[in-house]
């Protein structure tokens, strides 16, 4: 049972590697991964919280950078 599970995991990983490295646009693939992750219907509230935290973290980093640059100048 464990041996067959390892084979399935390895096969899935190989298919993902082939799909990712097939020469198409990576941005479209990232967009597809995000939309399929969002549209699966499970725990959208939790996903929205994580996305909001991510945006806040990105804006906080830029805000601190601009404040730091203003202080240095």
> DSSP letter at 1?
-
Shortest CA distance to 1 belongs to which of 9, 67, 30? Answer: 9
pLDDT tens, residue by residue, 34-55: 777 777 777 878 888 888 999 9
pTM: 0.47
What average pLDDT is seen over the chain? 76
Alpha helices, DSSP H, located in the chain:
2-20, 26-38, 44-72
Mean predicted confidence (pLDDT) in 1-20: 57
* Number of residues assigned to the chain: 73
């Amino acid at each position: 049972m464990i041996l067959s599970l390892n084979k399935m995991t390895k096969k899935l990983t190989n298919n993902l590697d082939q799909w990712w490295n097939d020469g198409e646009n990576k941005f479209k693939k990232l967009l597809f991964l995000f939309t399929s992750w969002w549209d699966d219907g499970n725990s959208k509230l939790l996903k929205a919280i994580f996305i909001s935290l991510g945006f806040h973290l990105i804006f906080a980093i830029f805000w601190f950078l601009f404040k730091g640059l203003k202080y240095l100048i």
